[in-house]
Amino acid sequence: MPDAGHRLLILIARNEDAFDPLVTGLLDVGITGATIIESRGIGAVIREDMPFFAGLAALLPQHTGSRMLVSVATPDRIEGLLRYLDQLRPEQRPVGAVLPVEAVIGFGH
């Protein structure tokens, strides 16, 4: 049975300056449960682990790490977060997606 009350939120803070405002926004709208995953983009992998692509690496951004945030939240809280994120400077805004959730287990207990 579909769960119309929750959405999956996936956001990537591309640099350290983008992470603190993201966490502030989450807490401000009442999203207190989230998983943070340290991640690397393909540019960092090419630059650090694939030296045979050295020429291509010069064309890619220099930052090497990011943090991915995953959370399940209600649509109203996500809408509040999106409004907050829209007010940030462009370099502070995360990239991400909001997806429908088929079912939720272990949530809120």
Question: What pLDDT, in 10s, does the model give residues 40-50?
Answer: 776 666 666 66
As a CATH number, domain 7-100 is: 3.30.70.120
pLDDT value, residue 109: 47
pLDDT value, residue 9: 98
Q: What is the pLDDT of residues 83-96, one digit of tens each?
A: 999 999 999 999 99
Average pLDDT, the chain: 84
Q: Two tokens at 34?
A: 């989230």
Q: What is the pLDDT of residues 50-78, one digit of tens each?
A: 666 666 555 555 555 689 999 999 999 99
